Structure 1
């Protein structure tokens, strides 16, 4: 008698799930790695393999992969008010409490909070508010948005247009017109011989000003920047960069938006990346660490100058006609509030500062590897430059698939690495210990050794 064979998760996944950021044809052949549970900075797959996650998922699992305390809060919130919108003069306690808390801890004075569901939504909403602001001032021609090469600001059509990485635009008919990308801020890759970081930063600021003048300052609405560039490989800015950039923006009355989706809530060794680099944004976008990825939520913080114009414009046309169904979800707000309480109890900023020397030391210790050209970081975010030749800083060609080789050996070693073209990016859960940081370095070296052996074998 034939027994019914139950398909595995891997087989069922290939038959039903469409995966982001994935080679879809290859996935039909290989299937997924199915993660079944997590504990601290580790996750385990359905084959029993345990991995140290050096990237906190997608930069977001700040408290790791299990938290009963927050689960109880979510349960209690759901039994009290499982859902209610905050549209049309309606509100609820969790949305009010969370908004007040965010205004209290904001790096610069802010006036109001617009709650959303993801970093993409919050950045997309910020673009609309920037345009709304300039319309309210009678300057609708100010529509152009400037971002940097290597930036990532989301996956909506607008935010992917802002993203300074052509790989995200191919075959989508994007980016839209009016989204301008200025120079990469990778000092290691882009500095001229003998150029100091300060001189490099001045050259980038001069290039930004030249771009503004070429486009016409009267047409430029805002400049977007993440304090540390995540998509570029967890890349900190060169010395003096933001001081010089903000001077240019002020000169031409261009709004400044800080994308703190990755950097916010202790990641950089301060509550905000804006505090590390003395940013004075008009709008601030946050997500990821806001709930430690335990539920989807984001927020856009708006200063009084912009809010004042918004109130007048909404009154003129009848309403601020914008919103998402799940924005300000009471359960997500309650979870985010509890996460912020946990950060306070942990003294998350002091904790990250105390771990920073071990983390940066771990990155520096890998600079002697043949594949590593440089290491940079701040707080608990940073990365390694991957090179084919240290002397010339030459990158590997696509035929080598160095990223794929490193990832293959990383999984064998038991570590999840976030590998971008030319860099390995690190942003471990903020609960990581010094011993786990050391282990992260040891496992990374194993992955690099395996990839280097493959490169040598292929060229032999």
Structure 2
């Protein structure tokens, strides 16, 4: 069999050769493959296709912007009107008052720029020893150097020569604020720059926060002068039924990272929102103000910014954030019916994203492969779990059909558990 030229992301290549699914078109909540199969996109691709696929007005916006200004950087004195307009829009909806906006090319970029900024901030205000970044076990923060280093998924850090590509990272138990307190005591608050967490843990298996957890984390951050970073790359722009999960869970972050839902995947865009405490030292007048050395070639790209603006307009015009909140209730009710299944350990919902944790008798990847045969795309996550996070345009019945198909697959496997763990 011919080996593919494209080296796919996060793929064990010998296992996918001959099994790859080639998507050739998409419309609404559905994808079409080169074999003609029509599949419901039960994960909104990688958590991002919030407004659905194939919207003609998005294509028209890109076309019109390319005719006017296809690209120009925002380094130094230069900027462009679309980047400014988007930044002002993001400031107006941000969960941080008077936020500044840094734009870049995606979620992994956002993590790098946020964690570098946390260290640079402390260095500038005369506390250069505050460099250590605390994150949670089973967390996912992209795959650039900083994100790989703070990841709570060990397999993403293996094989690079050290435990972390970037020194000075620690991980604590995901639901235990006491573990964070113990880490502060052991390491010393004078050495900790920031704590970073997803409001709802995504790739780690869909884990919403335990009651009171983030309130205690924020108290510890405040009392020990540690920056709090909310990684909203997955949860931002409506996935939890409000524009940002920080609002839903009453978080007061110093930095928010975002990507994915800001364009619903129609262009590669990410960035961070920065609170006044952190941005002010870089904006105050005088020769003592430092330059924060950040930026990617396509930061503030006018076409991606135009698409983000149109995406946000669609979310508001069609009330899709409220629709996400309504779909969360349907998802929670449907997943509840699966909890009594012999092959299900637990189900979890944290907004319009759900996780189904399977028993040890069955393999999540095997189940998601079987779901393709049923006409639905789902995805295996850490902890032998299945991801459900469709576009916000899904109907109630389509969501019920999706969960029903999982039930059907599990029913078919109940009597054959010996072969499903292969």
TM-score normalized by the length of structure 1: 0.87
Structure 2 counterparts to residues 203-218 of structure 1, below 5 A? 204-218=176-190
Mapped pair 1:150 → 2:138: yes
Q: Which moved more, 1:447-456 or 1:345-354?
A: 447-456
Q: Distance in 2 between matches of 1:314 and 1:18?
A: 49
Q: How far has the Cα of 1:409 moved from its partner? A: 1.3
Mapped pair 1:441 → 2:413: no
Per-residue deviation, residues 144-186 of structure 1 (Å, max 9, x unmatched): 000101111111111111110001011123413311110033x
Q: Which moved more, 1:88-97 or 1:305-314?
A: 305-314
Q: How far has the Cα of 1:314 moved from its partner? A: 9.4
Q: How far has the Cα of 1:427 moved from its partner? A: 1.1
Q: How far has the Cα of 1:140 moved from its partner? A: 1.0
Equivalent position of 1:405 in the other structure: 366
Equivalent position of 1:249 in the other structure: 221
Q: Distance in 1 between matches of 2:143 and 2:285?
A: 28
Mapped pair 1:178 → 2:140: no
Q: Distance in 2 between matches of 1:410 and 1:352?
A: 23
Specify every segment of 5 or more residues in structure 2 that has no aligned partner in the other structure, as ranges.
none
Q: How far has the Cα of 1:312 moved from its partner? A: 5.2
Per-residue deviation, residues 373-432 of structure 1 (Å, max 9, x unmatched): 2222133112112123xxxxxxx5xxx6x1232122112111111111321121111111
Q: How far has the Cα of 1:61 moved from its partner? A: 0.7
Structure 2 counterparts to residues 218-257 of structure 1, below 5 A? 218-257=190-229
Equivalent position of 2:10 in the other structure: 21
Equivalent position of 1:365 in the other structure: 337
Q: Distance in 1 between matches of 2:267 and 2:399?
A: 26
Equivalent position of 1:330 in the other structure: 302
Equivalent position of 1:305 in the other structure: 277
Q: Which moved more, 1:311-320 or 1:336-345?
A: 311-320
Q: Distance in 2 between matches of 1:313 and 1:17?
A: 50
Q: How far has the Cα of 1:456 moved from its partner? A: 4.5
Specify every segment of 5 or more residues in structure 1 that has no aligned partner in the other structure, as ranges.
1-9, 186-203, 389-395
**Root mean square deviation, CA, Å:** 1.8
Per-residue deviation, residues 194-214 of structure 1 (Å, max 9, x unmatched): xxxxxxxxxx11111111110
Q: Distance in 2 between matches of 1:355 and 1:26?
A: 35
Q: How far has the Cα of 1:448 moved from its partner? A: 2.0
Q: Distance in 1 between matches of 2:24 and 2:235?
A: 28
Per-residue deviation, residues 116-154 of structure 1 (Å, max 9, x unmatched): 110000110011111110011111110000010111111
2:57 pairs with one of 69, 72, 93: 69
Q: Distance in 2 between matches of 1:411 and 1:85?
A: 41
Equivalent position of 1:201 in the other structure: none
Q: Distance in 2 between matches of 1:89 and 1:143?
A: 30
Q: Distance in 1 between matches of 2:253 and 2:376?
A: 36
Q: Does the CA-based 8 Å contact 2:281-2:289 persist in structure 1?
A: no
Q: Distance in 2 between matches of 1:31 and 1:386?
A: 24
Q: Distance in 1 between matches of 2:321 and 2:369?
A: 34
Per-residue deviation, residues 275-316 of structure 1 (Å, max 9, x unmatched): 111000000111100000000001211111111122359943
Q: Distance in 2 between matches of 1:419 and 1:337?
A: 32
Mapped pair 1:128 → 2:128: no
